[in-house]
Amino acid sequence: MNPQLIDARYPINRIHHLAKRIGIVHDEPIGVAALVTVPRPPGRPTVNMLAPIVIGARSRVGVQVVLHGSRFGLRHAL
C-alpha cells in the first residue's frame, strides 16, 4: 500500500536518500510500499509504516528500509 495514503507527510525524500545507498540513482523513479497485515480471524488490519519496501523503477533493485528515529511504527492501525 502507498504509505502516503495513510499520512501525506510520509518522508519520501528521506526514503530517496536511503535508496541511493543501495544503488538506486537519485533521479530514478521509485516505488514505495508499506506492508499490510490482516490477522486471522479477519481482525483489525495494520500497516508497517516504519519499514517500507523501496524498488527502483529502472534498475529493479529493491530493499526494505527502516526509518530509524521516525514517528512511524510497525503496526499502524488502518
Q: Compute CA 42 distance to the chain's CA centroid, rounded to the nearest angstrom.
A: 24
Domain that holds residue 56: 3-77
Which pLDDT score is estimated for 24? 80
Which pLDDT score is estimated for 73? 92
Q: Find the CATH number of the domain harbouring 72.
A: 2.30.290.10
Strand 36-37 versus strand 62-64 pairing type: unpaired
What confidence tens digit (pLDDT) does each residue in 47-67 have?
999 999 999 888 888 889 899
How far is Cα 56 from Cα 9, in angstroms, rounded to an integer? 21
**What 3-state DSSP class applies to 34?**
coil
- Are 11 and 20 spatial neighbours (Cβ–Cβ below 8 Å)? no
Cβ of 34: how many Cβ atoms within 10 Å?
Answer: 22
In the chain, the number of structural domains is 1
Record the pTM: 0.82
What confidence tens digit (pLDDT) does each residue in 16-51 have?
888 877 778 777 888 999 999 999 888 899 999 999
